Amino acid sequence: MLYFILTTGECNLGCRYCGGSFPIDKVPWKINYELKLLKDFIEKDDDATIAFYGGEPLVNSKFVEEVINKINAKRYVIQTNGILIDRLREDCWNRMDAILLSIDGTQKTTDYYRGDSVYRSVIKAVEKLKRIGYQGDLIARMAVSEQTDIYDDVMHLVGLGFFDHIHWQLDVGWSDSWVDFEGWVERSYKQGISKLVDRWASEISKGNVLGLVPFLGVLKRIKKGGVVPPCGSGVESVSIMPDGKIRACPISFDAGWSVIGELDRSMEVTLHKVGIVGECIACNYLKVCGARCLYFNRERLWGNKGFETVCELTKFTIDLIESRLESIERMVRDGEIDWDDLDYPKFNNSTEIIP
């Protein structure tokens, strides 16, 4: 199972799409439970992956170090903006199986959404990780919004040559920052994503697999299916909040349905599973889409019309990948490409698969 550990609700940035820190009364900025409770809970699982999350997890870097040194997990992952990279010891960085660094593409796009000089700070963080000999999976994690040119921003990150994989998540379902989401989808995103799939498929035909997580993840789900929702929230993934509450999803900080347990010294921790609801259950795309996102499926903050628009965009993306399946399978059969190079992720590394 994947265990998101929110080390704090505090963030050191105030990005345009999320606004920064969680409300302190909803997600405390300090840990309010005993480490032993967390240790006893996680170490019952011999296939545990711990993912450090926030807020910005490195605001509470000492707790990150404490967990790594005192709780045995099979894998460790962190999602971070990278600005506070020097707060964590080098040996801790090198124990991470995957590091997801928040960067939105070009310097112009990243700094517009995340703040002046953030792009340069992330690049410095990457350079440090390379310098200390980090050998794990280095992932660029993009938030995609109205100023994003998906082709240019993704290919910029590819061109840097630093990242093993690139993942993006659409800023949809809760954001109120959009001027014209539907217009952006039609005039920009669909064209860009189509061009990006063409480029990805062309590179595969040359024996070069670009590590674009949404494309690889969708391809894997077309072939093999997978957990619903694709991030595993509420089924194969849980989130331990700073107050000890256990939620199905790390962003569902104020949703009653999302509380599935609690770290409590007086009783055995038991969890109840939370699943998707509504029309997604009977949808023909469920095997691949997996309802996209548990929070998005349940909350409908954009109403049914907004939900349907995002749903159609997800189907559009899946159809693009599926249209390449036959040629990719032929290349695998002919020995031009190894399926293992396309099989990603190998474990739930907190990339949500569906943008």
Structure tokens at 76: 């460790």
Averaged pLDDT for residues 178-190: 96
pLDDT value at residue 354: 97
Structure tokens at 324: 């390449």
Averaged pLDDT for residues 54-74: 98
E strand or H helix that includes residue 2: strand 2-6
Where are the chain's structural domains? Answer: 2-342
Q: Is the pLDDT of residue 138 over 90?
A: yes
d(CA 155, CA 229): 28
pLDDT value at residue 266: 59
d(CA 66, CA 53): 15
Q: How far is CA 354 from the centre of its chain?
A: 9
Q: Return the DSSP state at 138.
A: E
Mean pLDDT, the chain, as a whole number? 96
Q: How does pLDDT run across 252-299, given as a tens digit for each residue? A: 999 999 999 999 875 667 788 899 999 999 999 999 999 999 999 999
pLDDT value at residue 273: 82
pLDDT value at residue 84: 98
Homologous superfamily of 2-342 in CATH?
Aldolase class I (3.20.20.70)
Q: How many CB atoms lie within 10 A of CB 221?
A: 20
Structure tokens at 129: 């990780």
Amino acid identity for residue 141 in this structure: R
Q: Is the pLDDT of residue 218 over 80?
A: yes
CA distances to 249, 302, 303 from 124, in Å: 31, 37, 41
Q: How does pLDDT run across 35-58, given as a tens digit for each residue? A: 999 999 999 999 999 999 999 999
Beta bridge partners of 245: 262
φ, ψ of residue 328 to 5 degrees: the values are -65, -45
- For residue 29, give every residue at least 6 positions away whose Cβ sits within 8 Å of its Cβ, in sequence order, or none: 8, 9, 10, 21, 55, 59, 242
d(CA 315, CA 312): 5
pLDDT value at residue 221: 98
Q: Is the pLDDT of residue 177 over 90?
A: no
d(CA 115, CA 259): 33
Please answer whether residues 166 and 154 qualify as being in contact, where contact means their C-beta atoms are separated by less than 8 angstroms: yes
Q: How far is CA 315 from the centre of its chain?
A: 19
Q: Is 237 helix (H, G, I), strand (E, B) or coil?
A: strand
Q: Is the pLDDT of residue 196 over 90?
A: yes
Cis peptide bond upstream of 55, omega within 30: yes
Residue 227, class by beta-carbon neighbours within 10 Å (0-12 exposed, 13-18 middle, 19+ buried)? middle
Q: For a pLDDT cut of 90, what percent of the chain falls above it?
A: 95
Give 3-state DSSP helix, strand, coil % of the chain, rounded to 5: 40, 15, 45
pLDDT value at residue 174: 82
Q: Is the pLDDT of residue 167 over 90?
A: yes
Q: How open is the CA angle 106-111-112, to the nearest 5 degrees?
A: 100
Under the banding of pLDDT at 50, 70 and 90, the label for residue 191 is very high
The torsion defined by the Cα of 64, 65, 71 and 72, in degrees rounded to 10, comes to 110
pLDDT value at residue 152: 98
Amino acid identity for residue 225 in this structure: G
Q: What is the pTM of this model?
A: 0.97
